[in-house]
Amino acid sequence: MKIGFIGTGNMGGPMAANVLAGGHELLVYDSQATATEALEASGAVRCDNLASLASGSEVVFLSLPGPSEVTAVAAQILPQMSSGQTLVDMSTNSPSVVKDIARDARARDVVFLDAPVSGGVRGAKKGTLAIMVGGDASHYSRLEPLFKCMGENIFHVGDVGAGNVAKLVNNMLAFSTMMANAEALVLGAKAGVDPNVLWNVVRTSSGSSMTWEGGARAILRDRLAPTFTVDLACKDIGLATDLANELDVDLTMVPTAERLLKDFQANGYAKEDVLATVKALEEAAGVVVRGTWDE
């Protein structure tokens, strides 16, 4: 198929590479020219503008930072699209924003699906992402082979917007536990327990989670290069609390994690990895847990 991919950053770059490796023709566009270089070297064609990508693709995928970028790009490409074409937003987005875009797409007879992903840059590179799709079931089935180029666990969650509901619920859990994990490591170390021993104890006990297995280990290994920034985490957890407010659901724990993340964002961590915020806790407690991994 002729596929267009807009937004080829940390996630979109390797996701698009897997679509290309799946034998599809690939047109790419990113506002930063360097973001498409590796894909061009592998055979993708960079478009000079959004309009030529939109008119030349059967399916257009978006992997953009968030609601404002997706809204702006959709407004530019939908006028170039028509019946028979499909637009899939794989960004983490607001359920109400994707519903608005779906309505604009329908007015042009363009199919729209929301399909946010989980699994990080590692999962994007390995093609093992979880993909949660919202939209019409028949269009989901038609696009499943394309999703399978990028992911291993593909879910049809419900109508448009449902993909992002599942994603936001997942991420509010993930970030709340990541914040608690960092506090746990620092508290244990301050109380004199070797962080490696603590990691192993929790890993095999009731406090464990995927974020402990992967995230807490990355902290101990001091492998904290930015792959998921505090800016993105604030966006996601903010979208989850917005959804709760919209639906009159009272949350208590998640807004605490949100407040913490926003403090880090305002205090120099915005472009750092979300796990790197452990540095602030180490500093306040006067202990270091990073770099203590026993290889």
Q: Looking at the annotation, which residues are catalytic?
A: 167
- Record the tokens describing residue 81, joined without a space: 């699209």
Amino acid at 208: S
* Residue with Cβ nearer ligand NAD (97 or 143): 97
* Residue with Cβ nearer ligand NAD (12 or 195): 12
Q: Does 30 bind ligand NAD (CB under 6 A)?
A: yes
Minimum distance from residue 232 beta carbon to ligand NAD (Å): 5
Q: Does 7 bind ligand NAD (CB under 6 A)?
A: yes
* Residue with Cβ nearer ligand NAD (32 or 200): 32
Region from 10-18, 37-45, 99-107, 262-270 binding ligand NAD, contact rule CB under 6 A? 10-18
Q: Does 272 bind ligand NAD (CB under 6 A)?
A: no
Minimum distance from residue 84 beta carbon to ligand NAD (Å): 24
Candidates 228, 243, 264, 290: give the one binding ligand NAD (CB under 6 A): 228
Candidates 2, 21, 31, 263: give the one binding ligand NAD (CB under 6 A): 31
* Residue with Cβ nearer ligand NAD (76 or 200): 76
Instruction: With CB under 6 A as the rule, give the number of residues binding ligand NAD.
Output: 29
Q: Does 86 bind ligand NAD (CB under 6 A)?
A: no
* Contact mark string toward ligand NAD, 161..180, x via CB under 6 A: --------------------
- Written in H, E and C, the secondary structure of the chain is CEEEEECCCCCHHHHHHHHHHCCCEEEEECCCHHHHHHHHHCCCEECCCHHHHHHCCCEEEECCCCHHHHHHHHHHHHHHCCCCCEEEECCCCCHHHHHHHHHHHHHCCCEEEECCEECHHHHHHHCCEEEEEECCHHHHHHHHHHHHHHEEEEEEEECCCHHHHHHHHHHHHHHHHHHHHHHHHHHHHHCCCCHHHHHHHHHCCCCCCHHHHHHHHHHHCCCCCCCCEHHHHHHHHHHHHHHHHHCCCCCCHHHHHHHHHHHHHHHHHCCCEHHHHHHHHHHHHCCCCCCCCCC
* Residue with Cβ nearer ligand NAD (18 or 63): 63
Q: Would you tell me which residues interact with ligand NAD (CB under 6 A)?
A: 6-12, 29-32, 35, 63-66, 69, 72-73, 91-92, 117-118, 120-121, 227-228, 232, 236
